[in-house]
Amino acid sequence: MARAAGRRPPSGLLPAEEAPPPPAHPGAEPSGPPAGGPPLDPDVLRYLEYARVEKRLAARTVTLYTLDLHKLAAFAHEAGAPLRGLQPAHIRRFVARMHAEGRGGRGIALILSGWRGFFTWALRQGLVPHNPVQGVRAPRAPKPLPKALGVDDAVRLAEFEGTSGADPWLEARDAAMVELLYGCGLRVGELAGLDAVPGPDTQRQGRGWVDLEAAEAHVFGKGSKRRGVPVGAAALAALRAWLAVRAQPFGGAQSARLDAALFVGQRGARLTAQSIWSRLRQRSQLAGLTTPVHPHMLRHSFASHLLQSSGDLRAVQELLGHANITTTQVYTRLDFQHLAKVYDAAHPRARRKPGG
């Protein structure tokens, strides 16, 4: 590919050396190289014009493509390879370099998308024999750690008794929901799917129930996989308190207005996952927690606190219903963070400054 020819300075009132170059189109950035970089190939400029005129991409998108292709031109120049001769090995080397320079996986993926678009167009035009970016992927971004409450905050939320003047029926229900979410590590869908009493349709429809005598919750998780989860004393007490008042607004448990669900709304219908989210967020705010709490955060808190106390990763996997232990292992990173904080706060060698 030939190098792009330099632009002629426009005529005007200013001397030629002082006259600014005209923009290629309104809103576009100059296509010249960054300081010290090689100029863009004419075929690249044709592609950018195609993207702007025929594909009608936004000016900002074309600008970003331009910057990405300048980066490709610089890499190719340093590698001593023309754009037409780039191979997947070159692209992988460029990706490794960007990653080593600290660019994240998402940013690299966006750059690769821009390069891939150019080579797809060039292949259709017969300018290159293949697309060297095809099949090259950006490094995977590290999976973010799940957010968990500290033990004190989790207990504070579980023991919150409501505000003065609050509806005692709602308080009993919401307290039981918090205890099951935090005490059993249930997913919000599993909680919403619990029936008050197991009936003929409960298992057939993939719903769960709580056996108070056996102190065990039977839930159907992902893939309709059934698992049993122990229910602690605090959760059992909260559930019994809720079941004692659950049917009162509807005239009794046999009321046609009352759904079979364990947790119902004020009209007797099964609570939705969205309603549980909303009630939990409101309750956490009333309890004075500064962190917005959602149901899955309590599941993460259950797993993290249990692992901190027991160290038994396999047991936590079973309680959470994870099919693969690698899914559960993310909590070991949370556990290490906790241990590191304890060490930093308590160990004299951690607190002592070097040379102090």
Catalytic sites, residue numbers: 187, 222, 296, 299, 322, 331
Which tokens in the block code for residue 158? 């579980």
| CB contact set of 285 (below 8 Å; sequence gap of 6+) | none
Beta bridge pairs of residue 228: 218
Cα–Cα distance, 42 to 48 (Å, whole number): 10
- Pairwise CA distance, residues 228 & 221, whole Å: 10
* Pick from 121, 37, 46, 130: nearest CA to 91: 130
Measure the CA–CA gap between 274 and 188, rounded to whole angstroms.
Answer: 9
Q: Angle 105-124/59-79 helices, nearest 10 degrees?
A: 90
DSSP 207-263: -EEEETTTTEEEEE-GGG-EEEEE--HHHHHHHHHHHHHTTGGGTSTT-TTS-SBSS
Tokens 């997913």 correspond to what residue? Answer: 187
Pairing, β 216-220 against β 208-211 = antiparallel
Residues recorded for the chain: 356
Q: Decide: 259 and 269 in contact? Cβ < 8 Å.
A: yes
- Which residue type does 312 have? D
What percent of the chain is helix, strand and coil (3-state, nearest 5)?
A: 50, 5, 45
User: With left for phi above 0 and alpha for psi between -120 and 50, is residue 145 left, alpha or beta?
Assistant: beta
